[in-house]
């Protein structure tokens, strides 16, 4: 099976299991970039069964040394590759999971910094547009992601119960 064909099938599988459109696009983009790398390296289309563990290792090295990707970006790409090859192997698109023995990429944990309640209130008070101020307050008080807030429907808000139903949230 052509690698491009398997990427398309994998994207359809992700849609079937209700992955978010953002996740599907990110996985598709990661795999498509890997495919481009392989096509340039081998000067032609790639078949899934021809991809070896060494190709994955070389690609991750390329992302680090040539593209200058940070560890967290390479870790995300590795997660995409692992998910893809695990699915491909389970569905017998290939004879082995060539990503199974790849070493994890270590990332330094960044200490998160948060705004104080006073800083948040100063920020919100500085917003002149009423709707944008309401969105900022909603994000702050609920911990919602921006896309979750933007996708809210009137039917998702239950004022009497002080409840908001978030669809397709993380």
The model's pTM is 0.70
Token pair belonging to 71: 């560890």
Q: What is the pLDDT, as a whole number, of residue 98?
A: 97
- In 3D space, the residue among 70, 74, 47, 72 whose CA is nearest the CA of residue 60 turns out to be 74
What is the pLDDT confidence band of residue 107, given thresholds at 50, 70 and 90?
A: confident
Average pLDDT, stretch 154-159?
91
Q: What is the pLDDT, as a whole number, of residue 7?
A: 97
Q: What is the pLDDT, as a whole number, of residue 170?
A: 66
What is the spatial distance between Cα 41 and Cα 51, in angstroms, rounded to a whole number?
12
Classify strands 163-164 and 157-158 as parallel, antiparallel or unpaired: antiparallel
Residue 24 CB neighbour total at 10 angstroms: 16
What is the spatial distance between Cα 52 and Cα 167, in angstroms, rounded to a whole number?
39
What is the spatial distance between Cα 56 and Cα 124, in angstroms, rounded to a whole number?
46
Tens digit of pLDDT for each residue in 32-74?
999 999 999 999 999 999 999 999 999 999 999 999 999 999 9
């Amino acid at each position: 099976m052509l690698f491009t064909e398997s990427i398309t099938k994998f994207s359809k599988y992700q849609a079937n299991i209700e992955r978010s459109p953002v996740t599907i696009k990110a996985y598709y983009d990661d795999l498509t970039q890997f495919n481009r790398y392989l096509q340039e390296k081998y000067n032609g289309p790639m078949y899934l069964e021809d991809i070896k563990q060494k190709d994955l290792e070389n690609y991750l090295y390329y992302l680090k040394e040539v593209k200058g990707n940070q560890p967290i970006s390479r870790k995300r790409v590795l997660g995409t590759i692992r998910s893809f090859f695990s699915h491909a192997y389970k569905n017998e698109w290939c004879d082995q999971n060539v990503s199974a023995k790849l070493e994890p990429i270590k990332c330094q944990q960044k200490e998160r910094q948060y705004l104080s309640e006073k800083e948040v209130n100063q920020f919100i008070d500085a917003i002149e547009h009423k709707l944008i101020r309401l969105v900022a307050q909603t994000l702050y008080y609920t911990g919602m992601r921006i896309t979750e807030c933007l996708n809210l429907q009137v039917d998702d808000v239950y004022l009497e119960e002080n409840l908001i139903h978030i669809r397709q949230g993380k």
